[in-house]
Structure 1
Amino acid sequence: MSFPEGVPSVPVRYSITSPAGGGPGEGTLQLMPTVPAIRVPGADGVFTGGGTYRFVDGQLVDGAGEQVRLLPTNVDGANPTVWAWLGIESVNGAQPRHFYFALDANAEEVDLGAVQQLAPDLTQYLAVPGESAYDAWRQAGNDGTEEEFLASLVGPPGDITAANAYTDETVTQGLAAEVARADTAYDPAGAAGAAQTAAIAAASSDAANKAASAQATAISAASSDATAKANTAQSSAVTTAASAAAALYLPKAMLAVDSFMAQSGTKVFGHRGAGMVCPEHTEAAYDYAIAHGIQAMELSVNVDSEGQLWCLHDLTLDRTTYNTGALNTYPSTGVAQRVLTNGRVMLGQGWTDQPMVPLRRMLDKYLGRVVLFLEPKGNDAVVPLQNLLSTSYPHANQSVIWKAHVGTSFVWPKTQGYRTWCYVDDGSSNAVLDGKDSLVDYWGVSTSMTSARRKEIVQRPGSKPVFSWPVYRRSQRAALEADGVVGLMSSDPVYVRGTTAQATASRWDQQVKESGGTPQADYSVDAALKFSETEGWVSVNRARGTYGLGRYCPIVPGAGGYRITIEMKYDQINSGDLAVHGGLYFGKVSDDPYEFNTVNPSNGYHLILRHNGVLRLYRHVTTQTGGIQLGAGDILTDAPVAGQSMTIQIDVTPITIEARRLGNAAWTTGPIADASYRGGYFGLSNGSISDTAARPHWRNLLITQL
């Protein structure tokens, strides 16, 4: 970056290793001072500096390809004297990392990847103190108050009459003295004396006229000069005040849309905040996403009967709250005091009911700090949202993406400088897209759209970035990235963004849905995990239902493999059909949904425990519905007793698989030589059970290495 003349700078680079397996890291580094502005001696104005830069192979370059230079933090005489640089690093799409550092003015070149990092509390600053004129007056031996000091600078109030008398007297005395001097010098007599007197009078009059004219000219010039200087001072003061006011706000505006999109790697956005982990469109959902490093999220908006905007996906309160009816029939006070979300139904009774959140609160809290997708979901919310942004948040277009369906208008957001995301139906024709193209910055495609159609939209003329929704599985992410999609709107953004397991032991006693839990259907109460009121049991209250346990996936085996241990029980035995079963599926290479006796998208294994006590182990392939039984045959264990816990154990080594029910040494398949699949994804299965009263329950999951 360029620097004003006289301002010192230090060239910097950034050598960092990729977290993906060695080699030089690539990505972006956002740099900003920890203070709003720095005044440098000998330079006009103040230095604000910083920006977002790319680093490749240790080189840190700006938009013009030039090496980045930074202001040292120890410039002599700078105000403030103590401050630091803040770096926000994003390497190969990994979660951003923050660090603080100082920069020595004597350094020839600094590698920011190896600087000594400062603790945040060492980056605070103090303004440079200065000696006041009053202090200097006191030190010179004067004794008095500050008011007396000010009076000494100005003097006592003047008397204009006395001043005029003094001036008139001085002029009169001066003229009389001049006449006396002239008389003495020329000694005039008679007419000559009269002429002399007349000449003196004329000279006196001329001098008086010229003096008056000079005085008027001087006063006019002084007045004009004072006015000009006052105007200049006023303009400078206004500019300084505006800069100071901007400095107070602008540090919050750390992430603009274009800066975010310039980051490398796939972008992950929070869908309804994080609507499959927290109650959707609540402050808790938004806070969860941002607290885990998600840099962009969606705010759906609807309006109440008084014109206040609320974060809500539906036009009615029926699905997400304990109330019913359209939001636009409720008064603002009623929504604020009486409407609570019912996220406990889908996310577990461990949740407390959450209040509705006003849009203004979220804008005040997060606008500028993260990228916000704003979408008015009802027609009556469009104009109130436009008016709110125009009057109260005129800077919103820097960090807001206007989100809307292909069937709506994009004229207003584009004329106001907003980036726009147009999401399309699976059946939207190219002609429909062509009609919107000039007003669209990003296209939106659904996960239900065919891969071929997604690729067509990605490859449209103009190569506009394409985002997809709703994404809640890593397997969906992989497929979308293969199609060229660069943005993922996810209801479980932390899990979808990740690649590793988050835990090895369950805490289902907390009675809250975990990140990484993948039911067969998104936003479905029926497919959700059900928590018991006591003892930490969970179940899937859906016929033949399954539930992926992505929080614990992919399992990373030790040198000898890994072991899955879990307790299981049936609260009701199906006496009419003791062959029905539940159990676990495992060994899958991805987290795509699984169902018993169905063609599934990926291979794996399935352990079943029948109501009559028979234990079996199956291998499943993608070419047939039924499983392939492994081992010598049925393992006969004691018939389950209603409500009584059983412990299941699965051992997976590099070359064998063994399933057992603990409690009897004979209740095991023994090690089976089968190394067909070694994927790390697994989950719970109701197997063949269609009567949910007879479904299995599980608790105390534990994964250990062998």
Structure 2
Amino acid sequence: MALPDDLPTVTLTGQRTHADGTPIRGSIRAVPTAGRFVHAESGLDVQGAAEKPYDKVTGDYSITLVASDADGINPHNGTYEITLTAFDAPTVTRTVLLPKANPVVKFAAITPVDPYDGDYVVITGPEGPEGPEGPQGEPGPPGSSADAEQYTDDALAAEVTRANAAYDQAGSATAARTAAINTAASDATTKANNAQAAAISAAAADAAAKANAAQAAAISTASDDAATKAGNAQSAAVSAAASSAAALYLPNAIQTVDAYLVGATPSSPRFFGHRGGGMVRPEHTLVGYRACAAMGFALEVSVNVDASGELWCLHDLTLDRTTYQTGALNTYTTEEVGQAVLTNGRTLLGPGWTDQRMVPLRQVLDEFLGKIPILLEPKGNDAVVPTQTLLDTYYPHAPRSVIWKCHIGTLSLPWAKAPSRNYRTWVYLDSNTTDATMDGKDANVDYWGVSTTFTDQRIQQVVARGKPVFAWPVYRRSQVARLTGLGVVGMMSSDPRYVSTSVPQRTFSRWGLAVKESGGTPTLDYDTAYALVFGEGADAGWVSINALPNQSYGLGTYSPIVGSAAGYRISYDMKYKVLPASTVHGGFYFGKASDDAYRFGTANTTGGYHVVMRASGDMQLYRHTPGVTAGTQIGSTIATTAPVADSAMSFQVNVTPTTVELRRTDSTGWTTGAIADTTYRGGYHGLSNGSITDLATRPHWRNLVITQL
């Protein structure tokens, strides 16, 4: 339902792109800091989160919210927490004030403010009818002795006047005066005595009442104090008993955080399974966690909460990207998640994978806590307190083997570093984090986190602060080399088995299984658009790259190639299901010293060779110099039989210490001959879409085999 037309609103706009201008995918999310805004006049009750996705083409975003200072809004001048989520970039969180004076404002131009719930304004109703007259008051207290004496003097004077008027001058007035004096004196004495007695009685009653009240207050205060002290003593006793019981009965950590990180240096970094190794296994699933733990890698676990309050292992706030369902997790009940939500990892990792169930955080803690360190992060704000409560209530021993992971903007660090817990903390930064912000959080930080997208200079600045630094996301060995050279000691890797070694894992492909291999390096990780596509049906065993332009796929599983003294041979089949234009080509690259991305027609970081097989049948070898866009042909162009649509061609690449040679072996046999060139002898290689401009004409490969000559 739309907001009322007469209610002032503010539209928050902006754009998020990568460095090359491609749009970031994600959403903008807004939550009132106070939890809700209420508009009494219209009956509007604004609460919960508002979320809108970025434009998929431009990265633009826009969200319209009630103005913080809208007339009639309670609380008044409250702030919003704005979160820019992303699947392929850091999350940005900022608290902002949205006054109605600026109905349209760009997010990047807003100065962050401290969170504030706002001021609550009392809204008065119409004046009510006049009430009835109040009850008659109680009689006043008895008069004092001074009042009695004044009364006596007045009475005496009155009697004298009356006597003088009543008797004659012969002396009767004097007698009357004397009698009056005697009568008045007696009366005054009686009244004075009565007044004195009344005053004494009133004073005594007042004193007794005050004494009783004082006694009651003293007893009550003493009782409250005793109850408080008894309660404190009871709590202390329960806490001491719980600590003692924990020491006796809770499982001891086989692998603590501190033990895991002992000796961590740039030359001996530690590895963490980012999202459970989410580039080779369905992310945040038991199969992923178990594989990482079995190989001895620490786990990185993200959690969000469902509508029933159960915590589930999930990176995103929604189910859209990683499951077959859509919408926010916190709109599903525990039963719905447990029975009807399955991961869709086959899109990224190959159809050979079976769908996996989502896993509750409790199950992960019960299975792995104390056996391997766990970096634990509640991703959504509504998951923070449930996670803290779960740990405090059921896992008081967690600080031994859990690292509390959070963004620099979090408010949860004081909880994590409280003396009763003292979790180790890993705090990750974003590109806008200032040194002043880091200084403000430094006392509660054990390890800093940097992105692989940060510049060398920025990473070195963070390392220079003196605390261990972990980087994310790491899925290439070349990234490990760069980061350790800058002083980083921890690698948050989506493929820790591959990046933690420097040897090949096998020498022949099993692409017919349709399961992604460790060491497969597309241009971007966690992006199905760049994932290796496994053929099915008649194309079973064939693979391709379903992305443009000039995309490639590194075969780190077989790298670096280990040859004999005579060299090595790469054999593979290739085909075009649909033939491209005659001069368009696809092929294979090899000879690179690093697994950094190779792209045809692009200035690459390291050099190597690439095979060119054109649709006309021309076969060529090119050398690609680092930093240079175009390749340089070596040897002659070999005219082979033109490819036939959907028919396999077979190739061999022979590399000796002094020569390189390309052969096509599916017919009579064609060869470039052994070309004398020793420029590149690196062992990294992969598949290349070459110069194709239409995905329908992309090349396909199968039967990769590496042999020694």
Q: TM-score range by the shorter chain?
A: 0.5 to 0.7
Correspondence 1:214-229 to 2 at 5 A: none
Q: Within 5 A, what are the aligned runs for 1:577-596?
A: 577-596=581-600
Please report how far the alpha carbon of residue 634 of structure 1 lies from its aligned counterpart in structure 2 after TM superposition: 1.1
Q: RMSD across aligned C-alpha pairs, in angstroms?
A: 1.7
Determine whether 1:429 maps to 2:430: no
Shift of 1:293: 2.3
CA contact (8 A) 2:246 2:397 kept: no
Shift of 1:318: 0.4
Match of 1:456 in 2: 461
- 1:349 paired with 2:351, answer yes
Letter in 2 for 1:291: A
SS class of match (1:272): helix
**Against the structure 1 CA distance between its residues 241 and 527, is the aligned structure 2 distance closer, same or farther, given a 3 Å change threshold?**
closer
Structure 2 alignment gaps of length 5 or more: 1-239
Residue in 1 that maps onto 2:394: 392
Q: Please report how far the alpha carbon of residue 290 of structure 1 lies from its aligned counterpart in structure 2 after TM superposition.
A: 1.3
Tell me which residue corresponds to 1:605: 609
Deviates more, 1:413-422 or 1:475-484: 413-422
The CA distance in 1 between the partners of 2:484 and 2:410, in whole Å, is 27
Per-residue deviation at 1:388? Answer: 0.1
Work out whether residues 470 and 488 of structure 2, in 8 Å CA contact, stay in contact via their aligned partners in 1: yes
2:700 aligned with 1:705, yes or no?
A: no
Rounded to whole Å, the distance in 1 between the matches of 2:242 and 2:691 is 72
C-alpha change, 1:530 and 1:395, in structure 2 (3 Å) is same
Partner of 1:254: 254
Q: Which amino acid aligns with 1:258?
A: D
Q: Given the alignment of the two structures, is residue 651 of structure 1 paired with residue 651 of structure 2, yes or no?
A: no
Aligned partners of 1:527, 1:464: CA distance in 2, in Å?
A: 36
Secondary structure at 1:634's aligned position in 2?
strand
What does the per-residue CA deviation read over 1:141-187, in whole Å, with 9 as the maximum and x for residues that have no partner? xxxxxxxxxxxxxxxxxxxxxxxxxxxxxxxxxxxxxxxxxxxxxxx
Matched AA of 1:374: L
Q: Which residue, 551, 561, 569 being the options, matches 2:557?
A: 551
Residue in structure 2 matched with residue 627 of structure 1 by the alignment: 631
Question: How many angstroms apart in 2 are the aligned matches of 1:665 and 1:628?
Answer: 27
Query: What is the correspondence of 1:66-465 to structure 2 with a 5 Å cutoff?
Result: 249-250=250-251, 253-264=253-264, 265-294=268-297, 296-409=298-411, 410-415=413-418, 416-460=421-465, 463-465=466-468
Cα distance in 2, alignment partners of residues 245 and 435 from structure 1: 34
Structure 1 residue 312: Cα displacement:
0.2
Within the candidate set 515, 518, 532, 2:518 is matched to 515
Matched, 1:539 2:544: yes
Q: Give the CA deviation at 1:565.
A: 0.1
Q: 2:528 aligns to what SS in structure 1? A: coil
Tell me how far apart the structure 2 counterparts of residues 597 and 389 of structure 1 sit (CA, whole Å): 53
1:429 Cα deviation after fit: 1.1
Following TM superposition, by how much is the alpha carbon of 1:399 offset from its aligned partner in structure 2, in angstroms?
0.6
Confirm or deny: 8 A CA contact 2:638 2:672 kept in the other structure.
Answer: yes
Instruction: Report if aligned partners of 2:573, 2:651 keep a CA contact under 8 Å in 1.
Output: yes
Whether 1:525 aligns to 2:531 is no
Correspondence 1:672 to 2:678: no
Tell me if structure 1 keeps the 8 A contact 2:299–2:373: yes
Aligned counterpart, 2:487: 484
Alpha-carbon separation, structure 2, partners of 1:698 and 1:499: 25
Alignment counterpart, residue 471 of structure 1, candidates 470, 474, 482:
474
1:623 CA drift (Å): 3.2
Measure how far apart 1:241 and its partner are.
14
- Shift in Å at residue 245 of structure 1? 8.6
Q: 1:248 to 1:671 in 2, by over 3 A?
A: farther
- Deviations 1:422-473 (CA, angstroms, capped at 9, x unpaired): 100123111111111111000000000001110011001xx10000000000
User: Aligned-pair distance for 1:578?
Assistant: 1.1
2: distance between equivalents of 1:698 and 1:444? 39
Query: How far apart are the structure 2 equivalents of 1:365 and 1:246?
Result: 19
Provide the rounded CA distance (Å) in 2 between the counterparts of 1:452 and 1:240: 51
Distance 1:302 1:702 in 2: 44
Q: Determine the C-alpha separation between the residues in 2 that align with 1:364 and 1:490.
A: 24
Q: Whole-Å Cα distance in 1 between the matches of residues 274 and 685 of structure 2?
A: 25
CA distance in 2, matches of 1:343, 1:282: 10
Query: Quick one: structure 1 residues 263 and 580, their matched pair in 2 at CA, closer, same or farther if it must change by over 3 Å?
Result: same
State the SS of the aligned residue for 1:360: helix
Amino acid at match of 2:251: L
Per-residue displacement from partner, 1:573-624 (whole Å, max 9, x unpaired)?
12xx211111100000010001001000001000010111111100001131
**Offset from partner CA, 1:521-571 (integer Å, 9 cap, x none):** 010101000001143000000122210000000001101000000011110
Contact 2:296–2:372 (8 Å) recurs in 1: no
Name the SS for the 2:330 alignment partner. Answer: helix
The letter for the 2-side match of 1:573 is L
Q: Aligned letter for 1:324?
A: T
Q: 5+ residue gaps in structure 1?
A: 1-238
The secondary structure found in structure 1 opposite 2:670 is coil
Distance in 2 of aligned mates of 1:665 and 1:641 = 16
Q: How many percent identity over aligned positions? A: 58
Question: How far off its partner does 1:665 sit?
Answer: 5.2
1:246, distance to aligned residue in structure 2 (A): 5.6
CA-to-aligned-CA distance 1:383-442 (integer Å, 9 cap, x gap): 000000000000101110000001112111011210101100123111111111111000
- Report the alpha carbon displacement of residue 263 of structure 1 after superposing the two structures with TM: 3.5
CA distance in 1, matches of 2:646, 2:472: 41
1:655 maps to a residue whose letter is T
Moved over 6 A (4+): 239-245
String of CA shifts for 1:355-385, please: whole Å, max 9, x gaps. Answer: 1100000000000100000100000000000
- Paired amino acid for 1:391: T
Larger radius of gyration: 2
* Structure 1 residues 647-693: Cα deviation after superposition (integer angstroms, max 9, x where no partner): 11000000000001103555110000001110000000000012011
SS, match of residue 391 in structure 1: helix
Structure 1 residue identity aligned to 2:447: Y
Match of 2:571? Answer: 565
Structure 1: distance between partners of 2:657 and 2:249: 60
Report the CA distance shift for 1:248/1:392 in structure 2 as closer, same or farther (over 3 A).
closer
Aligned equivalents of 1:248, 1:503: Cα separation in 2: 45
Aligned residues of 2:285 and 2:356 also touching (Cα < 8 A): yes
SS at match of 1:355: coil
Distance of aligned partners of 1:325 and 1:653 in 2 relative to their CA distance in 1, 3 Å threshold: same
What SS does structure 2 have at the residue aligned with 1:293? coil
Q: What is the SS of the residue equivalent to 2:457?
A: helix
1:515 CA drift (Å): 0.4
Q: Distance in 1 between matches of 2:644 and 2:458?
A: 52
- The whole-number CA distance in structure 2 between the counterparts of 1:287 and 1:645 is 39
Contact 2:651 2:666 in 1 (8 A): no
